[in-house]
Structure 1
Amino acid sequence: MSMSPFNAWLILQGIETLPLRMAAHSENAAKIAEFLVGHPKVALVRHPGLAEGDEAKRVARYLNDGTGPMVTVELAGGRAAGARFIEALKLFSHVSNIGDVRSLATHPASTTHRQLPEADLSAAGITQGSVRLSIGLEHPDDLVHDLAQALTAA
């Protein structure tokens, strides 16, 4: 089976711009992580750019082209806060996949990992208040604004 010429052209276009897009994803995610760290409704932020100690050394060694688009946030209010936060987002899409050019958000405890018992969620590093963000290519100020209003609602 072979792909159509148009599909091949689309793939080549995507490959040619991948380094530029990944740099923008990484830059935006770092700005989002910095914003979330100081917010009173956020208990914890996980992002490679925030690493310290030995973990920071590994990040510098292995992620020297950028830290990627993923930011995990643990909301202080647990599952209810996570649900309110997701519902209040306007710019972020509420989906389970990651890696889109648009910003995405998911609440693993009620979506992708909902079938797991609490002990397994905990072993996977997922709390009832965990929210995963895949940061896209939108302007970071717009993303911060959307997150701020969603955190207020949470």
Structure 2
Amino acid sequence: MGRTDFLHDPAAPPANSVYPGAVALVQNDAGDVLLIQRSDNGRWALPGGGHDLGESIGDTVRREVREETGLEVEVTDLSGVYTDPGHIMLYDDGEARQQFSLCFRARPVGGELRTSSETVQVRWVPVADLQNYDVHPTMRLRIDHALDRSRPGTYIG
């Protein structure tokens, strides 16, 4: 299913849903960041997705990273909460979702890199090269915040 992101755009449709989600800034021992190229809009992003009933938010992060990249991760802390009502994601089925996303830091603990039905490419990207990737401004904000280790992080669950 395709997706179009609107950020403070007067042409954005009104939101008709809110669905909590989580993404993870995963860094390897070299400090590279795990990025996925999304199959729904072609942009690069942190792995993540929607929170399901019966899961802790940590379970959501671990499941989504595994599904989209093949990697197992340990969630280390929370780096940000993002609920900008001006960020609307319009899906092909007519859902116009208001952003509600938690961003966590995580580290890889196993698995093998691979793509999925949600990812066209998965790769480790050196921090210095991140600016060369087509990343939505709201995802860029998450990345910048998560990379800033001076920002206090907390994690429960």
TM-score (norm 2): 0.25
Q: Please identify which structure carries the higher helix content.
A: 1
Report which of the two structures shows the higher radius of gyration computed on alpha carbons.
Answer: 1
**Which protein has greater RCO, CA pairs closer than 8 Å, 6+ apart?**
2
Q: Please identify which structure carries the higher strand content.
A: 2
